[in-house]
Structure 1
Amino acid sequence: MISGVPFHRIIGPVRGNLANEQALAAKRAQGWSERVFMEAGIVEIIRHVLRDVSSGGLEEPRIEESNWDDDPQMFSAMIYSARDSTGQGVSVKGDLPRSEQLVSVADQVQEWVIEENGPTNSNWPQCPWHPDNHPLSAQLVDGQGVWICPVRNTPVALIGELSVKD
């Protein structure tokens, strides 16, 4: 339960698996800079959000690490349409907690999905209570990134854990 409201599906907080954490620790030991580590981290966050894109039956973009933002506090990547190779930048502040980075990236990926798919998916991800009126909104709730119904202010799922579309 989050704020006393049960999720449709609860799976727990977003965490990397032990093998990934060990691999990243090894990269640090090899001298990877924190910037390189964080840029790799934004790609991991994008992939986490893209699980929701896939669960909706939509085509995932191609992700490319890219240091396009000149601000040293920002970490960035590009996502490219599989259809026509148009791209959109995705960036997050490096000093934010991981859960806030997840919410920011989810919001940017949501914008890309809506622009990429036009009117057929202008409500992505669909609100289960108002599927024809508005999409879910990425929000931080009790320290976790969740998709919520903005009208009812009710959590639906953790970001990256939407149910498969029937």
Structure 2
Amino acid sequence: MTPAHLRRMGYLLAVFLGALLFACSSSEPPDDAVHVVHTKGEVGPIMARYLDRAIDKAEDTSARLVVIELDTPGGLSTSMEEIVKRILEADVPIAVYVTPPGGKAASAGTLIAMAAHIAAMAPNTRIGAASAVNADGSDIEGALGRKIENDAVALIRALAEERGR
């Protein structure tokens, strides 16, 4: 092979690889894909918007499933309720996977997991401690505390019945 022939083959190979990379670089998942959404940290307005957009995108692309990887100590009840409502209204099945090992779905995270069609946990993770507290972590006293607790119990019961748990 001559040097010119080798150069020509090199150019053709480069063009082919470039075209292949371009074709594979689509940022849109294919229809019927499984979308995996990573969440870590406190449940709040940012997480609620992020999950709403992720579920919207999954619905728009006819995804087969959305997997929410969840690791949270809990957070705002208002944001948790938005997320729970969005999961319940979703046109695509939602799975919540508590991960990584050592992670948790505590407090508001427990209710988010309960709302999902599928709830699963990685080894050495935990779920629970779903009681409302003040922003400083102190107990909510008196009638207000009882009302909030009863509301949370009613929501957990309704979600368990909805999902056959």
Q: Which band: TM-score by shorter chain? A: under 0.3
Greater C-alpha Rg: 2
Determine which structure has the larger helix proportion and give its number. 2
TM-score for both structures, normalised by structure 1? 0.23
| Larger relative contact order, structure 1 or 2 (CA cutoff 8 Å, min sep 6) | 1
TM-score for both structures, normalised by structure 2? 0.23
